[in-house]
Amino acid sequence: MKVTKAIIPAAGLGTRFLPITKAVPKPMLPVFDKPTIQYIAEELRRAGIDEIIIVVSPDSEVIMRHFGRAPELESRLLSDNKKKLYEIEQETCSFNVKFAIQKEPNGLAGAILCAEEFIGDEPFALLLGDELIYAGIDEQSCMERLLSIYEKTGKSVIATMEVFGDDVSKYGNIGIASEEDGVMQVSAIVEKPSIADALSNNAIIGRYVLAGGIMSKLKALKPRNNEIYLTDVLDELAIKGELLASTFNGVRYDVGDKFGFVKANVEYALMSAEMGEDIKTYLKELAAKL
């Protein structure tokens, strides 16, 4: 079955970014000239996924407004003959976005289950809102690669990258049974293990394509510490030989972390057609003074 829908969990409180996240939801923090959530919507469009379900906290109407139409703004831009800005506005409200509300922060699986009414037991893509993955126009993006592996095999597939030292304990970690051309058969998963308990140096990053039936599996899970864990379902799939992992092209930015957020801002600004050259000159001048 073709994957046509995606879930973006984006209801986190963003406490690491206080005070800005007191009134502004974290997915609206800008990377260069767009909110982070819009880059993820663009990543999905590029991969051919049309229907996006964003899981938001109850006070996130500003995200809904961002993707909605703004008739007054549109007519103002038209009457002022600001064509380029009008196109930017048209692009912003061109995504097929639906919203699900996560009333309490009850983990990643809790967020996914909030989107159940839109997904049922269909396969879906899952993209964590704190991570941006840049891929050049001429390379296969991470999501395109995961979807092509899913379409070939019918198995759930997660994106993975190598991590070392203390970073191992920041991510879900996978055991690898076999590997061919960057596609791995996953044997087991542990969530944020100590270095001693890690199964490999392969961390799970925030891009997944999950086969049909995952919602029912999540609902059937027994809670641990009052939470249910996506990792438990992934581990169940891994043990049955139904979970693949894949490396990917491009650069991953952890925009949920202040350093990662600054790096993303600098690098996306450098890639901008409009301003990249000016920013490069400025950065060189600045670097010479440091």
- Where along the sequence are the contacts to ligand G1P (CB under 6 A)? 108, 128, 131, 171-172, 191, 203-206, 231
Q: Which is nearer to ligand G1P, 108 or 269 (CB)?
A: 108
Q: Which is nearer to ligand G1P, 79 or 225 (CB)?
A: 225
Q: Which is nearer to ligand G1P, 205 or 279 (CB)?
A: 205
Contact 172, 185 (CB under 8 A): no
**Distance of alpha carbon 157 from its chain centroid, rounded?**
14
The least distance separating ligand G1P from the CB of residue 158, rounded to whole angstroms, comes to: 9
- d(C-alpha 27, C-alpha 29), whole Å: 6
Closest residue by Cα to residue 205 from 128, 264, 261, 257:
128
Q: Which is nearer to ligand G1P, 51 or 191 (CB)?
A: 191
Q: Which is nearer to ligand G1P, 12 or 35 (CB)?
A: 12
The least distance separating ligand G1P from the CB of residue 253, rounded to whole angstroms, comes to: 11
The least distance separating ligand G1P from the CB of residue 156, rounded to whole angstroms, comes to: 14
Place of tokens 């999540």: 218
How far lies 19's CA from each of 31, 146, 160, in Å?
17, 36, 32
Q: Closest residue (Cβ) to ligand G1P?
A: 172
The least distance separating ligand G1P from the CB of residue 224, rounded to whole angstroms, comes to: 13
Bridge partners, 209 (sequence order): 125, 157
How far lies 51's CA from each of 101, 134, 228, in Å?
17, 21, 25
The least distance separating ligand G1P from the CB of residue 12, rounded to whole angstroms, comes to: 8
